[in-house]
Amino acid sequence: MIIDSEKASPLGHEFHDPRVVRVGMLGFGTVGTGAFRMLADNREAIVRKVGVPIEVTRIGVRDLVKPRIADRNLITADLHSIVDDPQIDVILELMGGVEPAGELIERALLNGKHVVTANKELLAKKGTHLVRLAAKQGLDLHYEAAVGGGIPLIQPLKHQLAGNDVLKMMGILNGTTNYILTKMTEEGLDFDAVLKEAQEKGYAEADPTSDVDGFDAQYKLAILSSIAFGKEVLPDSVHREGIRGISATEFAYADMLGYKIKLLGIVEACGPNRILARVHPTLIPKAHPLGRVDGVYNALWLEGDFVGDIMFSGQGAGSEATGSAVIGDLIDICRNIRLGGAGNMIPFEYGMETLPIEQVRSRYYLRIQVKDRPKALGCIATVFGNCDVSLAGMEMKTLPEGRGEIVFLTHPCIEGQFLRALKAMRNIHIVDRINSWMRVEGTA
């Protein structure tokens, strides 16, 4: 089948013989290597599914000395020469970071090239601009690998679930933190010890900030929220907390109460064009589908008005899993090229209102240390009642030297009310210390 070049590209780009789709890669690290291997190992199956061969013709890297599995003749440090090459149809951007990746993708789109990216930070911060540019150019910009790695999340949200109003999404969006929290739960180890082990096994970076402080999950939730609700959600509008401050004591109490502690990304509809999006450690019932997702696995639980509750789960990172998502997007684009155009763009609109975390309605876990005095519980219960916070459960433990430890679970309330109760509690003489508190989803 011969493609009319004017139909295939609004820029009059001169496409080569459509019996071959030529690909340029930007970046050849873990994900790039996995994608390249999949194209080579599954070449015949991919040709059958696409209808034409896919040929990687150029690979852009920063370090020309580092050993690669690809032919050295394909490799260059001149990244701009790849996005400017008129013979290349599709760019795979797998280098990460906001720049120069953003400028290179924009240049590729302006040059009439389709793009696949796994760059969650770039998409979260500048995705709306790039998606709009791709749509204007009549080109595809795919990014399945940016959020769930090998888990298909983007395409189902854009297509199979598009008829639903999304009521709520909750996800374990970062495998590193899920591994750390799982090990802390199962072995009673502290954070620093598990983090060190995760780094030694390659699950955590030397600088783990993006993972353990919640930035990675924040970027991913911003992307998912934009797709689910059809309007731009920027990462700065997603409330973010990390997992560094969680002690082994919290895991022991959570287990006793029937919960697990997970770093969850949560977004829920709060009215027309209004959402509340947040990333933070959360107590989730052991029986909840997300409560059974452990180790480096990721998952997304979604509630739609017609489909009800559904969940996606699998490996969210790694060379093969993420490379698989990249090649899936590439195959989709190649099919569109054979048909003469793009097919999956959803330009996000502006105008989404994101509410502050103080307006979330949630249940809460609270652990405090108190003086062992008469009427101590009555004083604390009065503070909660004055702030319109109702108690659902309580556990007590006697400590040495006339001290006690109390753990409370509340009924659902507005966070602002709960924080007001904490502030008032700090002024009660019988309360020695507020040790910790966390939000709770569901009922154990």
From the list 220, 231, 260, 262, the catalytic residue is: 220
368 backbone dihedrals φ, ψ, rounded to 5° = -130, 160
220 is catalytic: yes
Helices within 97-149 (DSSP H only)? 101-110, 120-137, 145-148
Alpha-carbon torsion, ordered 383, 385, 386, 389, to 10 deg: 100
Cα within 13 Å of Cα(322), Cβ side: 28
Nearest in space to 329 (alpha carbons), one of 132, 137, 150: 150
**Rounded Cα–Cα distance for residues 130 and 392 (Å):** 48
Taken in order 393, 444, 317, 331, the sign of the CA dihedral is negative
Using the 8-state DSSP alphabet, how is residue 52 labeled?
Answer: S
Task: Tell me the one-letter amino acid at 352.
Answer: M
The C-alpha atoms of residue 407 and residue 64 are separated, in whole angstroms, by 57
| SS3 state at 56 | strand
Cα torsion angle, 121, 124, 128, 131, sign:
positive
What's the DSSP call for residue 231? Answer: B
As a whole number of angstroms, the distance between CA 301 and CA 156 comes to: 13
* Sign for the pseudo-dihedral over CA of 159, 164, 166, 172: negative
Using CA atoms, how far apart are residues 192 and 198, in angstroms rounded to an integer?
10
Q: Which residues is 311 bridged to in the sheet? A: 301
* 8-state DSSP, 351: -
Positions marked active-site: 220
